[in-house]
């Protein structure tokens, strides 16, 4: 497996505001536990607790695609903002996907990521 660095994502043609948005989500996800690690991969950045993937973020030109590693229907998601990716090919692990272009859903997304952490990582 190739070793990717976060710097390689900054070289993509992404809006600076999108990368700043990524940093907000990254910091919030990593704040859930000091044991969560950020692992840049070829197509997305994985957030893992030990060997368990919690979330994946794909930095796009003007948005972030965030995938949470849970089977669709297992999380308490009252706003229904996430798309069911169970039958759709995608890069990160998990069935919950949301596309964000601002920080207005940050607390909601991180709250669901916390549910994933609690379900998958005792």
In a domain, 62, yes or no: yes
In a domain, 40, yes or no: yes
In a domain, 56, yes or no: yes
Of 76, 77, 94, the C-alpha closest to 85 is 94
Q: Which CATH number goes with the domain that contains 13?
A: 3.90.1150
Query: What pTM does this model have?
Result: 0.87
In a domain, 113, yes or no: yes
3-state helix, strand, coil in the chain (%, to 5): 30, 25, 45
Number of domains composing the chain: 1
Task: Point out which residues pair with 119 in neighbouring strands.
Answer: none
In a domain, 1, yes or no: no
In a domain, 37, yes or no: yes
In the 8-state DSSP scheme, what is residue 51?
T
pLDDT tens digits along 37-93: 999 888 889 999 999 999 999 998 889 999 999 999 999 999 999 999 876 666 667
In a domain, 53, yes or no: yes
Cβ 103 vs Cβ 63: under 8 Å: no
Task: Point out which residues pair with 45 in neighbouring strands.
Answer: 40, 57
In a domain, 92, yes or no: yes
CA 39/CA 44 separation, integer angstroms: 9
Give the pLDDT band of residue 1 (cuts 50, 70, 90).
Answer: very low
Note down the domain range covering 109.
6-120
């Amino acid at each position: 497996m190739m070793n990717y660095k976060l710097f390689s994502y900054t070289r993509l043609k992404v809006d600076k505001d999108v990368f700043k948005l990524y940093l907000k989500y990254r910091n919030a996800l990593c704040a859930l536990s000091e044991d969560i690690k950020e692992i840049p991969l070829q197509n997305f950045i994985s957030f893992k607790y030990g060997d368990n993937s919690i979330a994946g973020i794909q930095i796009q030109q003007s948005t972030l695609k965030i995938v949470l590693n849970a089977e669709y229907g297992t999380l308490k998601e009252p706003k229904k903002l996430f798309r069911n990716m169970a039958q759709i090919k995608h890069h990160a692990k998990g069935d919950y996907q949301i596309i964000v272009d601002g920080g207005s859903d940050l607390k909601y997304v991180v709250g669901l990521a916390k549910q994933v952490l609690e379900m998958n990582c005792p």
